[in-house]
Amino acid sequence: MLALSALSALLIGGLAASAASAAVPPVASPAPAPAPVSAAASPAASPGWLNARDFGASGSEYSTTATTVAGAKEIVVAAVGDFQVGQGVMVSECHPRVVSQTLWGPRHAVVMGRALQGKAELRGYDGTQGDWVILLIDIPEGGKAFRWSEDLARTWHPGGAVGPDWQPLRDGLEVRFSEHDWEKGYNVAFSCRGQLVSAITAIDGTTVTLRDAPSRAVAAATLRHCDDAALQAAIDEAVKTRMNLHLPNGRYRLSRGLVVRQPMSFTLEGAQAEHTILDISEGQGACITLSQGSDATLRRMTMLGHSGFAERDQCGILRTQGSSYFWGFGAKGCNAVTISNTRRVLVEDCHGRRMATECFVSGSRSRGLPDKPTQDHSQSTVYLRCSAIDCGRNAFNDVTAGSENTSVIECRIVDVGGCAWEGASRFVKFVGNYVRNAGTVAMGNLGVANRDATFPALGAGQHLVANNIFESTVPYGGAAVRAAVGATQVHITHNTFVNFNASAVHLSGSSDPTHYPTAQAVVAGNLFDMTAVDAAPVPRTAIDISAAQVIVADNQILVRGECDRTVTALRLLEPAIDITVHDNLIRNCGQGLACGRASSQVAAVIDPQTFTLGRRFLPLEHRLETQLQGWQIAWLTGGRAEALSTVQGITGASGTDPVTVRLAAPPERLEAGRSFDALPPQSNWNLHDNTIADCLQPAVFDIYGSPTTIFRNNILTRGTAAGVPQAILVGGQVHLLGNHLVGFDEPGSAALSLQASAFRQTARSRIRDNVFAGCAEAVRDAVGGVWTPAAAAVNAIVEPAVAAPAVAPAAGAAAPVAAPAHGAACHGSADPRRPRRGVAMAGPRPHYRHRPAARRTRLPPGTGPRLRCLGRHYPLPRGAGRGAGRDRPARRHRLRLLRRRRALAARSRRTALGPLGLHRRRPPGHTRWRHHPRAERGPRVPRALPGAGHSDRVDLRVGPAPGRPRPGHRPRTRPALQPRPAPRRPAGLAGLAGHRRALLRCGPGRGPGPGTRPVAAAASRPLRGKAREPRMDTDEHGWEGDPTAEGAEERRGGEEGRGRGVNHERHEGHERKRGGGRGRVRP
């Protein structure tokens, strides 16, 4: 797709060749006159400006019929109209000749059209076959005969033998061939024209005398204005006198392009973009070519060609049996603007229509080496508010790596048969454009023909593609945005894809003997609406990555309405390395995350351990002599991996020599054309914090994987998708850590499916800290030995809810209250009130009479109670929880923790409060005893430590510390400090079943009022052991205690509630009396 165009060679060496004229309908009606522009408003009336009309340019659309006689300069016209002496004209059909002969080939080589030099001849063209005839001769590789076409490869006709004898084509046209190596595969193109380009020397009535005589008699030729000679004279004068040129409104017909040589601060400006038209539909070449010079400006013009979107198959690369690189526009081309080695250019409010070649194109030498700099090269090119509409080939193009700082800004690209942008240049900005039904924004195109000595140091293909709108589909290139064959340092950010029925972004790691791979890209902040609206949906991918060193972040990929099984949201292919994918939202796609493998191929065998590369997907660095040591190669037979080989080193990527692979040991079978997969020692794939919902295949890992392939902290839900076989399919070494898989409860569905791999990579996967909630089957292990009881113990499984049978209430009895469908007890426990040890309980909470249901919240199982002390959390020993409070080891452990807490508090008063300028004395009336009754201590006031914003868990409270006074000890007092309340944030318990840590607020402050603290959140760790589940009194918001006024009154010392400082609890037939205060542990 990203092949070098035929125009690039012309741009580097000089200017594109101009061609002659073409046929049109016999009579063309004049168009309505454009709105007049006053002389005062025109730049032509200002000093420093020239007017094109002063040089004989007519700008007229008028045409008439004419009768010509062979050899006579006088022609008779139907009406003279606005023709004047001195004006240029073009006459159709009266001057037949062959204007262009080019040779393309041989096959399998990047060789563009060049002069035929007598290797083949054509005779018999007399104009009767057509006013503009393109004959294409196709000589296949190894063949002895040829075929031919006159509609640029749409239809082919059989020919004769390739030899010195004349071979007939049609209507008197014949061709013959001289001695040449035709068996290598070639194409020959002949361009025949019948148009005469001349000028009027005299007018006498209806007789018009031309400067040149026609060579053929025609009864009804067409006479038109031709303004290219007058406009070229005006341009030359303006450049010579350092003045600008103004084009009044009008249609200026061109038989050849205009050339601005060595412009210096030159401006060519039309009156109005809509009404100032350069029409090259009867000619070939660029409407305007800028050659060298500096500071050129083109403004307010429309340029019209001859081949639109409907002819795109005739303008692009033609599939022939001869040459591998034949481009249709090389035989019949035209374009709007060509820039060749001009330092600074601004093209503003210029518009191209029906262009066969790249509409706006630039080519330049590079800046050169530090010791040999190049002065004349494109340093800055800006296309501002331009458009390319209804064109056969590319809209905008930089064909070489030498151009720098090209910007396409706020342009409109609609119905373009080639690329919307194609660039091998450096530091490109494609920003704020609207693209609909156009080809790829193609970055890269670095082949052997368009890179130079500066490439190893500077690289090429650096692009910023941002803030664009892409709509509809992509008729050419396969994806809306593609970085390939050498593009590096690419940013694709904040673009919007609307109703997109084609692939969106493709970062290709593919390369071949003539191109480099792509690497180093960022795809972030884009919105992909992959909904197919106007046509049947086709298979498409939002983000497709096989290149190395890529970050994909903060994108949203969705399909509106029902799930579309033809959409793949994100595809990753090995052996790409250093891939980070995070914080993306994927919804309603057929495949959410699809990870696969890309194969490479052996080109030629050098010895039993050495071979050269053909097509490959390898992250080669062109600055390294030897690379990829220690990689492995998996040899494929019928698409299946059979054997492994170790790479000793790959050489040749830093130069033009073939890339060579040296193996540590010879494989069993090494032959040309054999395919293989490359396995890196560490792939460095980090896929985390993504959300994948309502997809038919949420995540598929059909890869080899590596120790650094990690899929962590992602959320996968089934939603409304039906027929989902599994949430995650793993067929290689992939570590699944801390993911949440919810709702895959269809019959036969599984949350995680483990597949066998060729070299048992799946068996080396780590699976832990995951939550499988509401799934019909948690893990389906087809490998064996991966999902063991030990693996199950470090993950949490919550089974789907089981609906209880409806029971009619007895007469006069109240209807039972339906329990919330949170799920049944885990692992099929018979009694939902008494789940098995070591697992979390889902579903309705068991009822305990001594405590309201709103205040019962379970902690993660097996963690044991934790004591919070000055932002630190200390676990109690196993068995110290519910029902084991009287154990002597537990009491000793509590005393040790309390003593440590006192030491920390004292150290905090000495160190933390002092440097912050807080007073060190206690408030008056406040004691330091730990378990003093609350009525004597006064209210508790939370105070945040100033400057400690680095951790929201640190919450020092200067006030009475709980504890009992020692006998005979007098408490010390200190002046009161002003209270500084801590921020209130309801946080709730951290994590679900299977989490090991949950930070627990153990102080006496409760409720959402002053002096309270929410339960803090913490990182999760899986459950272990069979300890019973401790409980904590929290409401639904995560606040301790009962938020109601009655509960608050009870806590403040109601007669029927708990006393101050004393907590009576009933739990499973046991009573405990526990001291109140800040340091107590609440089960």
Rounded to the nearest integer, the mean pLDDT of the chain is 78
* Residue (of 400, 411, 318, 319) closest to 359 by Cα position: 411
Tell me the pLDDT band of 847, cut-offs 50, 70 and 90. Answer: very low
* Residues 6+ positions from 782 with CB-CB distance below 8 Å: 753, 754, 755, 756
Burial tier of 335 (Cβ tally within 10 Å: 0-12, 13-18, 19+): buried
Tell me the pLDDT band of 545, cut-offs 50, 70 and 90. Answer: very high
Output the pLDDT for position 448: 65
CA distance 334 to 11: 14
Looking at the predicted structure, is the pLDDT value of residue 72 above 90? yes
If you ran DSSP here, which 8-state letter would residue 1020 be given? -
Tell me the pLDDT band of 395, cut-offs 50, 70 and 90. Answer: very high
- Which amino acid makes up residue 487? A
CA distances from 305 to 28, 253, 356, 630 (A): 17, 10, 7, 56
Of the chain, the end-to-end C-alpha distance in Å amounts to 68
Decide if 280 contacts 357 (C-beta within 8 A).
no
Find residue 857's DSSP bridge partners.
1032
Tell me the pLDDT band of 789, cut-offs 50, 70 and 90. Answer: confident
Give the residue-averaged pLDDT of 627-652. 90
Decide if 515 contacts 483 (C-beta within 8 A).
no
Percentage of the chain modeled with pLDDT above 90: 56
CA distance 1079 to 932: 12
Find residue 253's DSSP bridge partners.
279
* 91-95, 412-416, 515-519, 835-839: segment of lowest average pLDDT: 835-839
* Residue (of 548, 108, 120) closest to 326 by Cα position: 108
* Residues 6+ positions from 957 with CB-CB distance below 8 Å: 940, 941, 942, 943, 1003, 1078
* 112-126, 267-281, 481-495, 649-663: segment of lowest average pLDDT: 649-663
Output the pLDDT for position 790: 85
Find residue 74's DSSP bridge partners.
209
Decide if 246 contacts 37 (C-beta within 8 A).
no
Q: Specify the higher pLDDT residue, 293 or 914.
A: 293
Output the pLDDT for position 1078: 40
CA distance 63 to 65: 7
* Residues 6+ positions from 120 with CB-CB distance below 8 Å: 101, 103, 137, 175, 176, 177, 178, 188
- Extract the tokens encoding 91: 């006459």
- Which amino acid makes up residue 172? G
Tell me the pLDDT band of 2, cut-offs 50, 70 and 90. Answer: very low
Percentage of the chain modeled with pLDDT above 70: 71
* Residues 6+ positions from 485 with CB-CB distance below 8 Å: 2, 444, 445, 446, 447, 508, 510, 511, 512, 515, 516, 517, 518
- The neighbour count for residue 947, using CB atoms within 10 Å, is 9
CA distance 18 to 226: 15
Looking at the predicted structure, is the pLDDT value of residue 1032 above 70? no
Give the residue-averaged pLDDT of 254-277. 96
* Residue (of 680, 617, 683, 610) closest to 650 by Cα position: 610
Output the pLDDT for position 875: 53
Give the residue-averaged pLDDT of 405-424. 95
Looking at the predicted structure, is the pLDDT value of residue 772 above 90? yes
- The neighbour count for residue 15, using CB atoms within 10 Å, is 17
Tell me the pLDDT band of 1008, cut-offs 50, 70 and 90. Answer: very low
Cα–chain center distance at 827:
43
* Residues 6+ positions from 211 with CB-CB distance below 8 Å: 73, 198, 199, 200, 201
* Residue (of 573, 791, 765, 592) closest to 690 by Cα position: 592
Looking at the predicted structure, is the pLDDT value of residue 1003 above 70? no
Decide if 537 contacts 498 (C-beta within 8 A).
no
Three-state DSSP class for 937? helix
Give the residue-averaged pLDDT of 645-650. 93
Residue identified by tokens 């229509």 is: 353
CA distance 127 to 21: 13
Tell me the pLDDT band of 245, cut-offs 50, 70 and 90. Answer: very high
- Extract the tokens encoding 389: 């509409």
Question: What is the helix (H) or strand (E) element at residue 1046, kind and residue range?
Answer: helix 1045-1051
CA distance 359 to 306: 12
Give the residue-averaged pLDDT of 425-436. 95
